[in-house]
Amino acid sequence: MANLTIDDPDIKVTDLACGSAGLLVAAYRRKEYLIKQNKKSFTKDDHRKIIKEDLFGIDIMPFATNIASCNLGLQSPQFLTDSVNIGLWDSIDLQPGDTIPEFAKLHFLFRSKTMDAWIEDNTERRIISNLKVGPDYKGFTLEKTDLLLMNPPFTRHERLPVPYKARLRQRFRKYVESGVYNEQMGLHGIFILLGDLFLKKGGRMGLVLPASTLARRSFDALRRRFICENYCIELIIYNTSRLNFSESTLWREILLILRKEKPKDFITKVCRLTRFPDSVKETNEIASLIKNNQKSDKFEILQISQDLLKSMKDWSSITIVSDLFKKIYDKMFYTLYLNYNIWLYLMLF
C-alpha cells in the first residue's frame, strides 16, 4: 500500500490505529527510496523531516505504541532519533487540530486491562493528563493529512461495551442521522468515517479490511452512499494464493485504496494477486507494475465502472466473477482446442 499510494516524499502520512507501526515504517522506507532516487543520497535532515514532520501514529494500547515508537525510532539507525509522533490515545475522540503527548516522552508506562478501562468519563484523557512529560515538550498536533494508511481493528459492533457504543453514536451522530452509520457495522467501518475527518480533499486512504466488507449488509450504506458518492475507488486488491495480507490472522482480507474526490465516470481497478510476494523487492515490483497498468503473471486486473459498483449491493461478486470467468474461459478454451483437434483429425483421416 505504501508503494501504491506514495509518489511524493513530502506528503504527510497518518495511521489512526497504528499498532506496532508496520504501515508507517513502510511509508518511511518508501519516502527514503524516493528521496534517494531524486537526490542520490539520504541525509540526517531527510530522516528528521520524515520522523518529525511527515509521519503520525495513534493507538489505544500502551504496548503497541511502545513498539511503534521503537520501530520508527530505529529507522536509519545511523541518525539519532530523540522523539517520534506516536501518541497513546483513543483516536475515536480526536479532531483535526488536537495536540496530544508523544508516547516516547511519557515518563512511565501503565497497563490497560481492557477497553472498559477507557470508556467512561473520558478516562483516557484523565489518565494521560496525569502522566508527566518533559517540561520543554508540548506534544504533537494531529492535522488533516495527505494520506491515511490503516489496518483498523475488525472488532464486531456487538462485542463493544455498551457505554462505548453510546459514545460512538454521539461521536458520529451526523452519520447516524444520515443512515450511513449502522449498529451492526464493525469497528473498521467506523474508522473509515473517522479517517474521512482527517483526510484532505484529494488525499488518499489505503486500508486493510476484511473481505466481508464488500458484502455485508451492515456496510451497504457505507459502501454505496458514503464511499461511492465521496471517493474515487482507485483499487481493490484481493489474493487467491492465500487468505490474508496481515500476519497471524485467519480473516480473508482485501486492500482498498480510495481518493477523496467526487467521482465522475470513474473506472475502478480490481486486482487479483495470483501469487503472494515473498520479498520486499517483489512487492515493490508488483506495485510498480499495477500502478503503470502493465501486465504480469503475478496478478490480473479487471476494470469496472464505479457507477456500476454503486448499483451493486454485493461487491464481493466482482471478485467471485473474476475468478469464475477465468476458470470458465480456460475450460472453454481447452474444450474448443480439443474439439478443433478432433475435427482436424477426422477431416484428415
What CATH number does the domain containing 213 carry? 3.40.50.150
User: Could you tell me the pTM of the whole model?
Assistant: 0.83
Number of domains making up the chain:
1
Lowest-pLDDT range, 9-23, 27-41, 154-168, 241-255? 241-255
- Angle between the 62-73 and 22-39 helix axes, to the nearest 10 degrees? 20
Q: Is 207 exposed, middle or buried (0-12, 13-18, 19+ CB in 10 A)?
A: buried
List the one residue out of 272, 250, 252 whose CA is nearest residue 318. 272
Lowest-pLDDT range, 20-29, 107-116, 154-163, 230-239? 107-116
pLDDT at residue 235 above 90? Answer: yes
List the one residue out of 82, 130, 94 whose CA is nearest residue 110. 130
List the one residue out of 51, 47, 44, 91 whose CA is nearest residue 68. 51
Lowest-pLDDT range, 38-42, 83-87, 107-111, 335-339? 107-111
- Looking at residue 336, what is its pLDDT? 61
| 252: containing domain | 2-348
Which tops the pLDDT comparison, 37 or 111?
Answer: 37
Q: Are strands 299-305 and 232-239 parallel, antiparallel or unpaired?
A: unpaired
